[in-house]
Amino acid sequence: MTRRPLRPLLFLGASTAFLEIQEIIHDINRMEPRHRIVGLLDDDPNRHGTEVDGVPVIGPLSAAVDYPDADLVFGIGSYPTRLVRHRIIDRLGIPDARFISLVHPAAKVYPSAHIGPGSIVHPGVVLANDVVLEGFNVVTFGALVGPYVRLGRFSMVTSLAIVLSRVTIGSAAFIGAGASLQDGIRVGPGALVGMAAAVYRDVEPGAVVLGNPAKVAYRVRVPAELLVSWPPTEEDASSPATGESA
């Protein structure tokens, strides 16, 4: 049987998140060889010419246009950057179609779930029926995302979090490790649900909620462009996003 050539991959971001994502790629390749990591791009000039776990940092983020044949992985995912990640994509002007999604073989993704471009799904994750990841989402180790949940672009659900059915999470929101979200609530753009918080009611855009039951600790300013489509209409909440279907 002829083996297809490995697709070159470029990472945007030379943070420690690369080490986690690299392991997802290794495990995918063990199942079926697909990807070849060729380098990392980062806007910190002090990183240029260095290596992360043997992978070279070969230039700034804008250098992605110099590698038109490479697939791109969006690896900028720490919670402090959640409110600006969309601006990085806008500034680079790179089409979403160049960003691949990576789903670990040990994740359980229902056939009706939709995974948009640039998303990362870690081992042990469950994406239940009709879940929608709009794009550039990160769902980490062991998180459970229930039926009919929708994650806005650049939002994250982290390790062992439980998001029950029909929850809508706005763009650039962050759900902390071990948090639990009640059925049917809405978490606004740029909001942050703290580690192990239990959320029983809607969370406003930019609110940071902590504790059980979760209460607002403080608020952050959310860029206006993230609020344009919030709250979503019923049609938006029920329709799948355009993108890769898992």
Residue 103: what pLDDT? Answer: 98
Residue 245: what pLDDT? Answer: 35
Domain locations in the chain as residue ranges: 7-76, 102-236
Mean pLDDT by 10 residues, the chain (246 residues): 80 90 96 95 95 95 95 86 91 94 98 98 98 97 98 97 98 98 98 98 98 97 94 68 41
Residue 180: what pLDDT? Answer: 98
Residue 238: what pLDDT? Answer: 60
Residue 94: what pLDDT? Answer: 93
Sheet holding 71-74, edge to edge: 51-52, 55-59, 35-41, 7-12, 71-74
Kindly report the CATH number that applies to the domain delimited by 102-236. Answer: 2.160.10.10
Residue 242: what pLDDT? Answer: 45
**Selection from 153, 176, 185, 224 nearest residue 78 by Cα:** 176
Residue 77: what pLDDT? Answer: 74
Structure tokens at 84: 């600006």
Q: What is the dihedral of CA 202, 153, 228, 182, to 10 degrees?
A: -10
CATH level 3 topology of 7-76? Rossmann fold (3.40.50)
Contact 113, 132 (CB under 8 A): yes
